[in-house]
Structure 1
Amino acid sequence: MIWHMKDEELRTVAAVERALHLLDTFRSARRALTLTEIAARTGLYKSTALRLAATLERFGYLLRRPDGAYQIGSTPFYLGAVYQQTTQPAEIILPALRELVAEFGESASFFIERDGLRLCLYRVNSPQLVRAHLSPGDIVPMDKGAAGKIMMAFREPFDPAYARIRKNLVVSSAGEVALDMSAVAAAVFDAQGIAGALAITGPQRRFNRGVVRRAEAQLLKAAFRITQGLGGDMGRFSGPLALVAADEQA
């Protein structure tokens, strides 16, 4: 009897996973999808996709249009609004900053754009005496430093000069904001697009090539988690994180 309960539980979880996978196909669709397209994107049989879609439609996660195609329904929108009301960005970002400081011993910051400038929104300072000095609320020029380059890269219309940054989602800089200081930054996204830049900064002498590469990898992982928490498009990180994984296995 106990075995049957566990077996049924496993079947139930698998069904939920298939339903969630079906919903995930709409992340990059930008339009309604036919049942055939849903089946092709998920790898499900059309009969299975139809049953899942009908269940999701019943609970408002999908909406079936008059032409038979499916689009996202109102329930995800409502749940997203509830999530935004009950989650504060600081609860998501500050733990990531503390982890970066603990790992690298350098200061970690989260920057956003305000009136064409770069604003330090959150900051956790390095415990070391020699460090980059900055506080929440401080303003930095947008066109200088790694975090500034990240944010410039995702300004519309997109500048071709920042195409590599848009692809890699991470960049480093040296001596641009303050003499003898280096930085590494990664892009963070929310539901509207670019949310800001996550960065670690410190003296150039402590940012050798090995440290920069390791910082790029850890910043990308942290930026992915924050993006997930903010409801951003996690698919943007597929390429960059795949390169990180390959580099770590080499």
Structure 2
Amino acid sequence: METDKSTIDRSVAAADRSLLILEAFLGQSGPRTLVELEQLTGLFKSVILRYMLSFEARGFIRKDERGLYWLGPKVFQLGKAFEASFDISRTMQPILDRLMQTTGESASVYIRDGEWRVCMLRAEPDRAVRVATRAGTRLPIDGTATSLVLKKFDGKSLDDVGPLSPTTVVATAGKGDPLLASLSIPFFGPGDLFLGALTLAGINGHFDVQSKRYRNLLCDEAVSASKLLGASIP
């Protein structure tokens, strides 16, 4: 049975408009006026109003007595459902494995815990001489690339940082441990908020912290991770 192509196109356009309107509530918190929604989406007010009727009926949008539009309880329920299924390790471990296999060096994910850095996930090459840190290890915030990233980007969002690029990568050699050299870059998640540091480390003198290839690889993986974790990176 042949499907009418125009019907498919209209359905896709309707879905795109629905998501475009809901995405207009991302970023700055609080309500939106009809004028703001028109500016943010590029849609006519009459079109937005038609969609709002459906959103209100299904609990995705709430309109107050002043005519302002707020996100509704159904959006909160979706967020909680996402949190329940969200597991950073399922996203980050394949990325660490890929970095380790591509470079032959150790790859890690660190998060900040006050004045400490915690190794959440790890991928290490199968060789005798390597940088070895077990997942779960708690280390002080010091002068290493990982620590510098955790301090510099803690509490920040993508709006504060700007686009991730190889120049975002922080490099250190001989810091914390004279045998350690490392490259580190921030990655982001839901709400475009900073989550942690993605780090590539090796033996000082063998691991080239000036390597453009390593910096590009690390940046590409940080962008990929951030997208998968929910950050709004184009």
**TM-score of the two chains, using structure 1 as the length reference:** 0.79
Is residue 15 from structure 1 mapped to residue 14 from structure 2 by the alignment?
yes
CA displacement 1:64-103 (0-9 Å, x = unmatched): 1221121221112111211221232211111111121122
Query: Which amino acid is the alignment partner of residue 199 of structure 1?
Result: T
Report which of the two has the higher share of helix: 1
1:216/1:91 CA distance change after superposition, 3 Å: same
CA displacement 1:114-170 (0-9 Å, x = unmatched): 2420111110102344321211122222132112111101346x8xxxxxx945553
Partner in structure 2 of residue 66 of structure 1: 65
Equivalent position SS for 2:183: strand
Query: Which amino acid is the alignment partner of residue 202 of structure 1?
Result: G
Partner in structure 2 of residue 136 of structure 1: 135
Gap runs ≥5 in structure 1? 159-164, 239-250
Partner in structure 2 of residue 197 of structure 1: 197
Partner in structure 1 of residue 218 of structure 2: 219
Distance 1:146 1:208 in 2: 10
Gap runs ≥5 in structure 2? none
Partner in structure 1 of residue 121 of structure 2: 122
Distance 1:62 1:225 in 2: 31
Query: Which amino acid is the alignment partner of residue 81 of structure 1?
Result: K
> 1:56 touches 1:62 (CA, 8 Å); kept in 2?
yes
**TM-score of the two chains, using structure 2 as the length reference:** 0.84
- State how many pairs are aligned: 225
Alignment of 1:1-250 (within 5 A): 2-4=2-4, 6-155=5-154, 166-167=161-162, 169-191=168-190, 193-204=193-204, 205-207=206-208, 209=210, 211=211, 213-231=212-230, 234-235=231-232, 237=233
Distance 1:214 1:27 in 2: 34
Equivalent position SS for 1:226: helix
Distance 1:28 1:96 in 2: 27
> 1:109 touches 1:122 (CA, 8 Å); kept in 2?
yes
Distance 1:186 1:208 in 2: 13
Distance 1:58 1:215 in 2: 51
Query: Which amino acid is the alignment partner of residue 200 of structure 1?
Result: L
1:208/1:35 CA distance change after superposition, 3 Å: same
Query: Which amino acid is the alignment partner of residue 112 of structure 1?
Result: I
> 1:143 touches 1:152 (CA, 8 Å); kept in 2?
no
Distance 2:175 2:130 in 1: 15
